[in-house]
Amino acid sequence: MKRGWVFKHDNDPKHTARATKEWLRKKYFKVLEWPSQSPDLNPIENLWRELKVCVAQRQPQNITALKEICMEEWAKIPATGPGRLIHVKERMNGAMYREILSDNLLPSARALKMKRGWVFQHDNDPKHTARATKEWLRKKHFKVLEWPSQSPDLNPIENLWR
């Protein structure tokens, strides 16, 4: 992090606890004071409940499973809010990925009231770049964001999991 950055969190009791404040002070974190009873200006706050429910339904058995499930569930949430969140109980392959798209992509776009011209985005996972998947998306006339090979993951949440 560059010099001069300021840490910001809301007034959740865990964030305002004496122990938390003391730890931040000892680590020399500059913290933005956030007035109590102020509105939460972070739009992501509304998604935490959705994420928590989806993760709880999958019942992770250990921290590794929890981390993986959180990443998978988070990756399903578009900027306009969650569409249909699909729980995959086994290792996904290309055929399963296309089936999920077939059953859920258009209904989710409609439910989210996506405007004409919306663009579908997925990364370079082999399931996503498989010839059969590309052909399926082309036949269904979905516009897909081109994703250069070896490009960094532009989804900022992905960096949290590393």
**12 vs 20: CA distance, rounded Å:** 11
**Residuewise pLDDT in 10s, the chain (162 residues):** 567 777 777 777 888 889 988 998 898 888 877 776 666 555 556 567 778 888 888 899 999 999 888 888 877 766 666 667 677 788 889 999 999 999 988 888 888 888 888 888 888 888 999 999 999 999 999 999 887 666 655 555 555 545
Q: What is the pLDDT of residue 135?
A: 97
Give the DSSP H or E segment for 16.
helix 13-16
CA angle at residue 15 from 13 to 20, to 5 degrees? 115
Q: What is the pLDDT of residue 73?
A: 81
Paired tokens of 45:
């706050």
Beta-strand (E) ranges in 29-90?
none
**157 vs 73: CA distance, rounded Å:** 11
Rg, Å, the chain Cα set: 19
Q: What is the pLDDT of residue 19?
A: 93
Global pTM reads: 0.49
